[in-house]
Amino acid sequence: MNVLVYIEVRDGEVKKASLESLSEGHRIASASGGAVCAVIPGANLDAAVAAAKGHGAAKVFTNDSADLANYVPEGYLASVVEAASQCNAEVVLLGATSQGRDLAPRVAAKMGVMFLPDVTKISTDDGLVATRPVYAGKVNISLKAKELPVVISTRPNTFDLAANEGAGELVAISPEFNAKAKVVEVVASGGEKLDVAEADRIVAGGRGLKEPENFKVLEDLADSLGAAVGASRAVVDAGWRPHSEQVGQTGKTVGPTLYFAVGISGAVQHVAGMRTSKVIVAINKDADAPIFKLADYGIVGDAMEVVPALTAALK
């Protein structure tokens, strides 16, 4: 099976989610006797090309143009579709980042093929089978592709990174496209803050923090762990935290290595966004809070006592 992987670059840096897709693409292609290609639209792509090669890409299709320095859906779409054709791709993988969520269905529609979003596992033992959580994460569904190609978006932080040196043969492409809009300015909302959707560690807080000022203790814990701060919807709706930090059904889906749920009850809509976290630590003063059913480690206690003590211990 030939696999094409879309490599997302932001400010010259490759998104980790793309390298996870590429590692998985390399595994699928190797297991089924195919090759893995990468496609990188954008500008100043040297670092991205090196990363793609270092994660197993046999061929790297680049569309290097100043016009593509920012995400241009039509231009990026044309690049992926052109590379899929030249690579004879039977599987096209994209990380389910915010950009990937925009681009992947466009690619599937343009190619006229099936789209499997937010996949957490892929098997090629018996045809191509992709597994993804449905019903707010209560059930995993496995779908077998009846025909190829398919377009799949992979959930960030669920596939392992693997260093595999590929041949990295460079192929420049520049398909025509007709952009309907142009990015004139990009304003970052969170300054230097880590984005919860991509963070490897998250310290999330809920209504149990009692007041917005108390999030300072979570920020201190997050700093000592190199983690991002997340939030439940209750505190976002209350205006304590920005929506960009909200985890859950109507917020972001996260899958970090470590997730702290502090003063968060564990409502199904919150859990939907974080249940695939690898290690979950719950801190809640109510021993019967539903979050403890999901947690790997639980501390029953007052967040304002437990969290500063943890931070002090970590420091």
Q: Which residues make up the interface to ligand FAD (CB under 6 A)? A: 206-208, 232-235, 246-251, 263-265, 267, 269-270, 273, 283-286, 289, 302-303
Nearer to ligand FAD, 64 or 245 (CB): 245
Nearer to ligand FAD, 73 or 290 (CB): 290
3-state class percentages of the chain: helix first, strand second, coil last, to nearest 5: 30, 30, 40
Question: Amino acid identity, residue 106?
Answer: R
Nearer to ligand FAD, 133 or 248 (CB): 248
What b/e readout covers 88-118, taking b as 16+ CB neighbours within 10 angstroms?
Answer: ebbbbbbbbbebbeebbebbbeebebbbbbb
**Dihedral angle at the C-alpha atoms of 15, 19, 24, 30, nearest 10 degrees?**
150
Displacement of CA 134 from its chain's centroid (Å): 17
The DSSP annotation for 119-168 comes to: ESEEE-BTB-EEEEEETTTTEEEEEE-SSS-EEEEEPTTSS----B----
Task: Reduce the DSSP state of residue 10 to 3 states and report it.
Answer: strand
Phi, psi for residue 292 in degrees, rounded to 5: -65, -20
Phi, psi for residue 183 in degrees, rounded to 5: -75, 125
Q: Is residue 145 within 8 Å of 32, Cβ to Cβ?
A: no
Q: How far is the CB of 81 from ligand FAD (least distance, A)?
A: 33
Nearer to ligand FAD, 110 or 207 (CB): 207
Q: How far is the CB of 282 from ligand FAD (least distance, A)?
A: 9
Enumerate residues 6+ apart whose C-beta is below 8 A from 292: 266, 282, 284, 298
* Neighbour tally for 273: CB within 10 Å: 27
Task: Reduce the DSSP state of residue 186 to 3 states and report it.
Answer: coil
Tell me how far apart the alpha carbons of residues 90 and 88 are, in angstroms, rounded to a whole number: 6
Nearer to ligand FAD, 142 or 250 (CB): 250
Nearer to ligand FAD, 20 or 198 (CB): 198
Q: How far is the CB of 260 from ligand FAD (least distance, A)?
A: 12
Q: How far is the CB of 117 from ligand FAD (least distance, A)?
A: 17
Question: Amino acid identity, residue 151?
Answer: V
Nearer to ligand FAD, 63 or 232 (CB): 232
DSSP-derived letter for residue 209 is G
Q: How far is the CB of 212 from ligand FAD (least distance, A)?
A: 13
Q: How far is the CB of 286 from ligand FAD (least distance, A)?
A: 3
DSSP-derived letter for residue 222 is H
Nearer to ligand FAD, 62 or 232 (CB): 232
Q: Is residue 89 within 8 Å of 32, Cβ to Cβ?
A: no
Q: How far is the CB of 244 from ligand FAD (least distance, A)?
A: 12
Q: How far is the CB of 228 from ligand FAD (least distance, A)?
A: 15
